[in-house]
Structure 1
Amino acid sequence: MKNYNWAILGCGKIAKKFALELKTLPNANLYAAASRNLENATSFASEFGFDRAYGSYEEMVKDSNVDVVYIATPHSHHLEHSLLCLNNKKAVLCEKAFAINSKEVKQMVEASKKNNTFLMEAFWVRFRPKFKTVLELIKNEDLGKLKMLKSDFNFLGDYNPNNRLFNLDLGAGSLLDIGIYPVFTSLMFLGKPTQIKATPIFSPTGSEESITVFLSYENGATAILNSSFKSTYKNDVELIFEKGTIKYDRFSSEPILLHKQNKNKQITFNAGPNLGYQFEAIHVMECLDNNLIESPILPLSTSIDLMKILDDIRQEAGIVFPNHD
């Protein structure tokens, strides 16, 4: 098992969650934390036990000891920071949304190939045991065709026109921040839609604070997806098949509920420690062990397809990012 020196680019809330679980892995060295503010980087490095702190992203990527970088800045900056790392031959695990639009994602993918350097979107739920168990249930249970998917992700966010939830310059809005989870779920289970309808609700800054999306598919299946910063409504997934249903909470360790032929079953799984961010890091290091530049489980083509659907939803809903579109 080879050890890898990890660097964190951007020392915010999601970076703290990732670092907390990264430090549990025996072959992951917490090497460097980088922020545009040295004080922030130093505080972050001290809290989680990183060896070095940088007050410059550019200085960090010049460090020859860095093997792989986890990018945790706002998605409005993912293109810039991914290119910085890839062009300096640093493997990249970049938070979702991968970028603001498909044009940016394609530039990131091109840079990965040009530099022969690993790149993956940090869609951590794809690697969690619960998601894998659901995939197995869909494959192994005789439930017939999947006819409808319902998926929600909501939380109450305090309105602040300057933060990433509401500031258009930072790619604000529920769709790219949390709505991406329901859209990803629909892509994984139903593929690419043939028709999209969307109803947004906009905040005073012009960002959408809530959106409902209706997707139709060539095989007759449908999906209803919701995301909002203004609701505490459930955060679960329901899959409706011809002969039964599968229902689960996206993040909890609660059992998956399976209904088939008038019988209910609770399907348990080995959730593992913590929330599950460590599973994507484990996979990245396995890919690097095998000299891969993209994941066979979450290939770059999936990230391209996902962003194209998000682009189409934004176009349908009239969601515009002035500095990117």
Structure 2
Amino acid sequence: MKTYNWAILGCGSIAKKFTLELKDLPNANLYATASRNIDTATNFASEFNFEKAYGSYLEMVNDPKVDIVYIATPHSFHKEHTLLCLNFKKAVLCEKAFAINTKEVEQMILASKEYNTFLMEAFWVIFRPKFNKVLELINTRKLGKLKFVKSDFMFNQPFDSNSRLYNLDLGGGSLLDIGIYPVFTALMLLGIPDKIETIPHFSPSGSEESISMLFGYKNGSNAVLNSSVTSNYKNDVELIFENGTIKYERFSNDSIELIQNETLEKITFNPGPNMGYQFEAIHVMECLDNNLIESPVLTNTVSLNLIRTLDKIRKKANITYPKHD
């Protein structure tokens, strides 16, 4: 088993969650951290026992020992940081949203091909056993046709003009931060919608603080999706079929509820100590073992379909990022 040297670009909260699970993988070596502030990089490196800390991203990518870079900066920097890493032939796992818009994602994918270097969006839920079990249940067709997808993601973050969530220059708002999860679920289970309707609500800074989305499909299926940074609600998914339903909580690893003929069946999983970020890291290293520059699971096409749909939603809801659009 080949061991890969991982570097973390951007040492914030999501990077910590990812690293907590990365450190348990036998073929992942916690090698380097990088931040614009050397103290931030050093503290992160000390907390998780990385070998090196860099006070600039350019210094980090110049290190020939770095194999894979996990990018965990705000959405608005993803294109810039991804292109930097690819230019130095560093494999990239970049947090979602992959970038601000379709144009940026297309540039990133083109660079991956030009430099013949691996690139994947860090949409970790697609690699979790529970999500794959849901796909398996759908594909058996035992419940009939999937008619409705209901998916929500909400939390309450009081308005703060200094917060990333409310900063338009950083791609702030609920849609790219958490609304992307319900949208991704609908795309994976129902495909690209034929019609999109939206109801957004905006914060004092002009960022979208909540949005309700309705996807319509010519085959008669619909998706009802909600995201909000000003509400508290379960982050769950409900799938309604012709002959039953499937329910599951997005971030819990423990169970899926399957209801058919008024009979409830609970399919349980061993949740373990982790959320499931380790599965995407395992997949990236497997891809590199096989000299791939694109994941066969989370393909460039999946990421393009996602960002194109998000762009359509933003256009419909009049959500703009003035420095990027």
Normalised TM-score (structure 1): 0.99
> 2-side partners of 1:201 and 1:245: how far apart?
30
Q: Which runs of 4+ in 1 moved over 4 A?
A: none
Mapped contact 1:129–1:271 kept (Cα < 8 A):
no
1:76 is matched with which residue?
76
Give the distance between the partners of 1:276 and 1:168, measured in 2 at CA: 30
Offset at residue 217 of structure 1 (A):
1.0
1:118 aligned partner: 118
Superposition CA RMSD, Å: 0.8
Q: What is the 5 A alignment of 1:36-75?
A: 36-75=36-75
1:31 is matched with which residue?
31
Name the residue aligned to 2:158. 158
Q: Is the 8 A contact 2:254 2:270 kept in 1?
A: no
Amino acid at match of 1:312: K
- Distance in 1 (CA, whole Å) between partners of 2:158 and 2:16 is 21
How many angstroms apart in 2 are the aligned matches of 1:161 and 1:167? Answer: 7
Partner of 2:266: 266
Compare 244-253 and 135-144 and name the one that shifted more: 135-144
Task: Please state whether the residue corresponding to 2:165 is helix, strand or coil.
Answer: coil
Shift of 1:264: 0.9
Kindly state the Cα deviation for residue 160 of structure 1 after the two structures are TM-superposed. Answer: 1.3
CA distance in 2 between counterparts of 1:163 and 1:90 reads: 30
Alignment-derived partner of residue 278 in structure 1: 278
Aligned match of 1:193: 193
2 CA distance for matches of 1:230 and 1:35? Answer: 30
1:180 aligns with 2:183: no
The 8 Å contact of residues 197 and 316 in structure 2, kept in 1 or not, is answered as yes
8 Å CA contact 1:129–1:270 kept in 2: the answer is no
Quick one: which amino acid aligns to residue 215 of structure 1? F
Summarize the Cα distance change of 1:140–1:273 in structure 2 as closer, same or farther, 3 Å threshold.
Answer: farther
Question: Is the Cα–Cα contact under 8 Å of residues 125 and 131 in structure 1 kept in the other structure?
Answer: yes
Q: Distance in 2 between matches of 1:207 and 1:28?
A: 38
1:318 & 1:55 partners in 2: Cα distance?
Answer: 38
Residue 141 of structure 1, CA deviation: 5.0
Q: CA deviation at 1:163?
A: 1.7
CA deviation map 1:294-316 (0-9, x unaligned): 10010011000000000000000
Q: How does 1:82-161 map to 2 (within 5 A)?
A: 82-161=82-161
User: Which residue of the partner structure matches residue 225 of structure 1?
Assistant: 225
Query: Which 10-residue stretch deviates more, 263-272 or 75-84?
Result: 263-272
Cα deviation 1:183-224 (Å, max 9, x = unaligned): 000000000001000000000000000000000012110000
**Structure 2: segments with no counterpart, 5+ residues:** none
Query: Could you tell me how far apart the structure 1 residues matched to 2:269 and 2:141 are?
Result: 16
Mapped contact 2:254–2:271 kept (Cα < 8 A) = no
More displaced, 177-186 or 126-135?
126-135
Query: What is the DSSP-based 3-state SS (H/G/I as helix, E as strand, rest coil) of the residue aligned with 1:165?
Result: helix
Across the two proteins, how many residue pairs are aligned to each other?
Answer: 325
Distance 2:199 2:32 in 1: 42
- Once the two structures are superposed, what CA deviation does each residue of 1:6-52 show, in whole Å capped at 9, x if it has no partner? 00000000000011110000000000000000000000000001000
CA distance in 2 between partners of 1:232 and 1:172 (Å): 18
Paired position in structure 2 for 1:205: 205
**With structure 2 as the length reference, what TM-score do the two structures score?**
0.99
Asked whether the equivalents of residues 98 and 303 of structure 2 are also in contact (C-alpha less than 8 Å), the reply is yes
**Alpha-carbon distance between aligned partners in 1 of 2:166 and 2:20, rounded to the nearest angstrom:** 27
Determine the C-alpha separation between the residues in 2 that align with 1:282 and 1:214: 34
